[in-house]
Amino acid sequence: MLPRPLFNDGFSTVVFDRNGMLLGAKVAPDQQWRFQGDTILPYKFEKAILNYEDKYFYYHPGINIFSIVTSIRDNLSAGKIVRGGSTISMQLIRISRKGKPRVYVEKLIESIMAIGLECTHSKREILSLYSANAPFGGNVVGLNAASWRYFKRSPEDLSWAESATLAVLPNAPALIHPGRNRDALKLKRNSLLKDLYEEKIIDSIQYQLALLEPIPDEVVPMEQLAPHFLEFVNSKFSGKLTYSTIDIKKQQLLNSIMAQHAPTLKEFGVENGAALIVDTDTKEILAYAGNFSNQKMEIKDAFNDMIQAKRSTGSIMKPFLYAAMLDGGEILPNSLIRDIPSYFDNYFPQNYTNEFEGAVPASLALSKSLNVPAVYMLQEYGIGRFLILLKQLGFTSFKRNADFYGLTLILGGGEASLFELVGAYAGMAKVVVDYDKNYGKYPENPYQPLRYSINRKPEKENYYNNKVLHASSIWLTYNALRKVSRPDSETGWENFTSSSKIAWKTGTSHGFKDAWAIGSTADYVVGVWAGNATGLGRNGLSGTKSAAPIMFDIFNSLDLKSEFYPPYDEMNEIEVCKQSGYPASRYCSETEIITNGVQEKPVKVCSYHKHIFTDKNTEFRLSQECADISEMYAHNWFVLPPVQEHYYSKKHPAYRPLPPLKRDCGKADEENAMDFIYPTNNSSIYLAVDERNRRREAVFEISHNSQNAIVYWHLDNKLIGITQANHQLDYKPEIGKHTLTVVDQAGNYKSVKFNVLH
């Protein structure tokens, strides 16, 4: 006879902060505020509701004959129904049979069903079902929702006056609405309090104090402190109460920082921004702003949660590659990396400076976020291998193969979410922090996704080898991101008092669509994204200018106590060549001792220093073929390959090219005299077309280490030009394969093969 279950209405999704403060909630599917709650009723509310509704609840079998008789008598003399005489069990049946008319027949059915209910349910079950499903005014259903909605606290924390207020509502829910009802509500509450006092449930002091308490003010909208986080949790645990890892104070702080920055960015045509604060030690999310919100925190952008959105990563993944190459023994922190004009599959990466350094220490390339060295590094490391690393760091977004992404992967050729990126950075930071705290132990699975719920165990599905990267490689990487000079010489960074503790990296995607900044400290990891959710680019949008200021404001509001300490057990000293940053060879004239970490294999020694002989004035190189040993002076000379030398010497005036070989001193080992800048060997090139659809000329270019060299250019054995000093030549080759050869007056020559595509 009884429907089972008695109620099957959906619940609101409710999110609390880590200390049980309400962060926000969504109405249930039937548009009611109905929170799941504890089955055990708080003492004060139970006393209040039973005194008000059903004093003999624990003694009657579901119906109370005395009360029915009294109510029939009263109703007959009044000529209408003035009192229900219903027990809580009957009222529960009535609530479950929604919208039935209040007539005697219905009352009879309710009575019979109430007896049935008592046979199948304990008194406590009936009382908690009643509290969970009774109406409390408007679209508020159940004690739990009412308690949060009207008093902003959980039912256990309600005072006697508040419990009494709620106890009178189920039978007069309209009283909660403002206006003249307020006095009626107060009268009913006070009369219940008096009852409780007379029953000796509260003493006279409690009674007097309770009478002084106001009844709730006008009902304000439900708390919405983290609307996008609520949607995110709703997508996982809809209709549940979730005790999240969010810290309400930090959430409010983040909300106000985002609100300060939003107008500036909007003026600039940037409509959206997102930020995350994560605890380094636990990888728990402490604050989550999925997008800019208006003051009312309206969730019109509910589905534009830019923390979960997949966006082009720009340069934000470069530190992973740097750390991995340190780990693999491919580089030392300051190893020279090529930074020269280069074509990769007809793709021409540029640095943001539009300049080339020739050769640049890896750590400087990282902190200045140079693109060309990063592409060379990825080429050496391998795209496929890098994709495996990203998976191990917890990324699930990079689903395609190496060919799909190509070398642009390191410059933003793939998409990932702020959630994943901050997760990877926080995982790395956690390794360094735990290594220090736990005497050289690695955390169990540092690269699992960020945690957001404290009533759930860490997710196990992304269990990866915890030594993806050694603590030492991560520490060296964060060290490079911590102390080196910053791009664009932005003013104001030095005002951030704690900036020396922050290892931070920015990124800007192609077309100025995404600005990223992620900073790591031993206490917190903060990630910021800014841009347009629509994908519209804004000239001038950059990680440094648009995202980093928000990140620094967030860090400034946080208390940074700890630092990253080097993982001493993994650190060792190594003698390196000061100029090349590689392990010193016997020819390296200036060396220094640096602190290095664990590497899979030793890094190959410096190959930049050559042992040569010159005359007394170091004007010419000599050999034993042309000079007596007594007039030969030995040197260890730092020599870069020609194209690198070409760019490097412009930035380093002290750089001295190798002196020319003296006449008759043998054949020049002239791989170093000159080299091609464009085209490179075995490359395929397209010729640009002009407005009349005619192919333009290509600009061939070489570098030569001698200032006054004269160079003869041959295409497929036909002389096509002569250059001096500036070795650029405009020429329009036919479509197809060619060989280009350059010869200088000293007889040095060099060839490249290339293919002109249609």
Q: In the complex, which residues of this chain contact Zn ion (CB under 5 A)?
A: 577, 580, 588, 606, 608-609
Query: What contacts 159, CB < 8 A, 6 or more positions away?
Result: 44, 210, 213
φ/ψ of residue 106, rounded to 5? -60, -40
Cα separation of 390 and 378, whole Å? 13
Q: Which residue number, 512 or 608, has a Cβ lying nearer to Zn ion? A: 608
Indicate the residue whose CB is closest to Zn ion: 577
Q: Least CB distance from residue 634 to Zn ion, whole Å?
A: 16
Crossing angle for the helix pair 160-168 and 43-53, to the nearest 10 degrees = 40
Q: Which residue number, 262 or 362, has a Cβ lying nearer to Zn ion? A: 362
Q: Least CB distance from residue 589 to Zn ion, whole Å?
A: 8
Q: Which residue number, 175 or 640, has a Cβ lying nearer to Zn ion? A: 640
Q: Which residue number, 54 or 330, has a Cβ lying nearer to Zn ion? A: 330
Residue spans of beta strands (DSSP E) within 372-411: none
Q: Which residue number, 314 or 361, has a Cβ lying nearer to Zn ion? A: 361
Q: Which residue number, 577 or 677, has a Cβ lying nearer to Zn ion? A: 577
Q: Least CB distance from residue 442 to Zn ion, whole Å?
A: 35
Q: Which residue number, 115 or 605, has a Cβ lying nearer to Zn ion? A: 605
Q: Least CB distance from residue 609 to Zn ion, whole Å?
A: 4
Q: Least CB distance from residue 605 to Zn ion, whole Å?
A: 8
Q: Least CB distance from residue 591 to Zn ion, whole Å?
A: 8
Cα torsion for 743, 745, 746, 749, to the nearest 10°? 0
Element of type H or E holding 595:
strand 591-596
Q: Which residue number, 429 or 577, has a Cβ lying nearer to Zn ion? A: 577
Tokens of 485: 């000079």
Question: 569-595 burial, b for 16+ CB within 10 Å, e for fewer?
Answer: ebeeebebbbbbbbbbbebbeebeebe
Element of type H or E holding 127:
helix 123-133
Burial of 303 (0-12, 13-18, 19+ CB in 10 A): middle
Q: Least CB distance from residue 292 to Zn ion, whole Å?
A: 52
Q: Which residue number, 593 or 699, has a Cβ lying nearer to Zn ion? A: 593
Contacts for 342-347: CB closer than 8 Å, 24+ residues apart: 342/372, 342/375, 342/376, 342/680, 343/678, 343/679, 343/680, 343/683, 343/685, 344/375, 344/379, 344/406, 344/407, 345/406, 345/407, 345/684, 346/683, 346/684, 346/685, 346/686, 346/757, 347/406, 347/407, 347/408
Do 507 and 527 meet the contact criterion of CB atoms below 8 Å apart?
A: no
Q: Which residue number, 338 or 609, has a Cβ lying nearer to Zn ion? A: 609
Cα separation of 502 and 525, whole Å? 9
Q: Least CB distance from residue 624 to Zn ion, whole Å?
A: 24
Q: Least CB distance from residue 611 to Zn ion, whole Å?
A: 11
Question: 331-344 burial, b for 16+ CB within 10 Å, e for fewer?
Answer: bbbbbbbbbbbbbb
Do 338 and 373 meet the contact criterion of CB atoms below 8 Å apart?
A: yes
Residue spans of beta strands (DSSP E) within 229-352: 241-243, 272-279, 285-289, 311-312, 336-339
Tell me the chain's radius of gyration from C-alpha atoms. Answer: 38
Q: Least CB distance from residue 661 to Zn ion, whole Å?
A: 22
For residue 409, which of 431, 435, 382 has the smallest C-alpha distance?
Answer: 382
Q: Least CB distance from residue 594 to Zn ion, whole Å?
A: 14
Q: Which residue number, 107 or 609, has a Cβ lying nearer to Zn ion? A: 609
Q: Which residue number, 337 or 375, has a Cβ lying nearer to Zn ion? A: 337
Q: Least CB distance from residue 654 to Zn ion, whole Å?
A: 15
Q: Least CB distance from residue 648 to Zn ion, whole Å?
A: 14
Cα separation of 534 and 14, whole Å? 29
Q: Which residue number, 503 or 577, has a Cβ lying nearer to Zn ion? A: 577
For residue 158, which of 71, 238, 237, 43 has the smallest C-alpha distance?
Answer: 43
Q: Which residue number, 362 or 588, has a Cβ lying nearer to Zn ion? A: 588
Cα separation of 353 and 341, whole Å? 13
Q: Least CB distance from residue 665 to Zn ion, whole Å?
A: 24
Element of type H or E holding 14:
strand 13-16
CB atoms within 10 A of CB 126: 23
Question: What number of CA atoms fall less than 13 Å from residue 705's CA on the CB side?
Answer: 23
Cα separation of 292 and 272, whole Å? 6
Q: Which residue number, 575 or 730, has a Cβ lying nearer to Zn ion? A: 575
Q: Which residues pair with 674 in a beta bridge?
A: 704
Q: Which residue number, 471 or 584, has a Cβ lying nearer to Zn ion? A: 584
Cα torsion for 444, 450, 456, 460, to the nearest 10°? -40
How big is the CA angle at 336 (ends 330 and 340), to the nearest 5 degrees? Answer: 115
Q: Least CB distance from residue 575 to Zn ion, whole Å?
A: 11
Cα separation of 217 and 292, whole Å? 30
Q: Least CB distance from residue 505 to Zn ion, whole Å?
A: 29
Tokens of 341: 């004009």
Q: Which residue has the tokens 């020739």?
A: 358
